[in-house]
Copies of this chain bind each other. A is one copy, B any other.
Amino acid sequence: MDQLSQTFQALADPTRRAMLAKLSQGEASVTDLAKPFLKEMSLPAVTKHLKVLEKAGLVTKTKEAQWRPCKINADGLRDVADWMEHYRVFWEESFDRLDAYLKTVTAKEKPKGKKNGRKKK
């Protein structure tokens, strides 16, 4: 499998994306990284997910520290960002349309004096 496909494949899993989200806050040991997932899966399963992220160029194990913490490897993310760049015109237009729609919704809701029911995520 080519590298970019491998990266997209690695991202096609909510557990692996949750691991990246955790690492986006800073380096973490495998034990710390595994903790939130051990209710749903075994440690070997967590380690396997971590290996997929490593092979995809999304996570590396730091070599300096003795406890070898995991951290985000930007290489994989850069490849995705690079690929996405070509499609910017499409997704930016889509963001604009969503924005316009949300403005319409808010404009309609305000006069009725409703509570702020819908929030822009």
List B contacts of A64 (CB < 8 A). Answer: none
Does chain B have a CB within 8 A of A98? yes
Does chain B have a CB within 8 A of A65? no
Hey, which bits of chain A sit against chain B, CB under 8 A?
Answer: 1-2, 4-9, 11-14, 17, 20-21, 24, 72, 74-75, 77-78, 80-81, 83-84, 86-87, 90-91, 93-95, 97-98
List B contacts of A74 (CB < 8 A). Answer: 90-91, 93-94, 97
Say whether, besides A8-B9, A12-B5, A14-B2, A77 and B86 are in contact (CB < 8 Å).
Answer: no
List B contacts of A90 (CB < 8 A). Answer: 24, 72, 74, 77
How many Å lie between the Cα of A17 and that of B94 in the bound state?
19
- Taking the full assembly, how many copies of this chain does it contain? 2
List B contacts of A91 (CB < 8 A). Answer: 74, 77-78, 80-81
How many Å lie between the Cα of A8 and that of B8 in the bound state?
5
The 8 Å CB contact of A94, one of B6, B9, B75, is: B75
Q: A117 → chain B, closest Cβ, in Å?
A: 21
How many Å lie between the Cα of A4 and that of B21 in the bound state?
15
Say whether, besides A81-B91, A86-B21, A5 and B13 are in contact (CB < 8 Å).
Answer: yes
